[in-house]
Amino acid sequence: MTLFWEKGYHATSLKDLEAALKMKPGSIYAAFSSKEGLFLQALKRYYETFRDQFQAEMAAAPTTLGGITEHLRSYARMSEDDRNAQACMLFKTVVDTRATDPEIASAARDYLTAMREGMAALFRKAAADGEIPADIDPDRLARLLQANITAIRFELHQGTDPAALTRLAEDMAQEFERLRLRPN
């Protein structure tokens, strides 16, 4: 997963895979059928890992909206060597394979959609809990959150100055905090 995440589908060679997996080409093909099959398994693992990590963060948060805003702020605290500071593997895959490997691009889009649907469920929960207005569009907010996460991870990937990154994450978090209903 890490090798594909760093290099992308097309730039990862069979030699790269042999070295990373400590397997011969025949064993790789016997286990995964093809490079595409191996990549799809790696993509699934990436999705499941980050989905589970995000869900655990949200479950541990005192409030749903607080969990969302803390998640955005957490990116600014990542060290340069943190794997999560790279651009999203799903997003990179869509860009890398859209024109050349539609099945792979479709799988990545499906995972991105599933992640966004999970985010929309969080906004529905926040509305049901009275944290945000009940008439707010959870799907629109989920798209905004996913776009913000993609943007901040791209900035991390580009090596943006930590102070600028902190300000950016704070701006993003405050945009969502402005939705919070204030007690009368």
Q: Does position 108 have pLDDT exceeding 80, yes or no? A: yes
Please tell me the predicted confidence (pLDDT) of residue 148: 97
Is residue 35 in a domain? no
Residue found under tokens 């009368």: 184
Is residue 121 in a domain? yes
Is residue 161 in a domain? yes
Buried b (16+ CB within 10 A) or exposed e, 127-154: beeebbeeeeebeebbebbbebbeebbe
Domain tally, the chain: 1
What string of DSSP letters covers 125-158?
HHHHTTSS-TTS-HHHHHHHHHHHHHHHHHHHHH
Is residue 92 in a domain? yes
Is residue 24 in a domain? no
Is residue 25 in a domain? no
We report the CATH number of the domain holding residue 99 as 1.10.357.10
Q: Does position 183 have pLDDT exceeding 70, yes or no? A: no
Whether the pTM exceeds 0.75: the reply is: yes
Its domain, for residue 158, covers 43-177
Is residue 37 in a domain? no
Are the C-beta atoms of residues 175 and 149 closer than 8 Å to each other?
no
Confidence of residue 63 (pLDDT cuts 50, 70, 90): very high
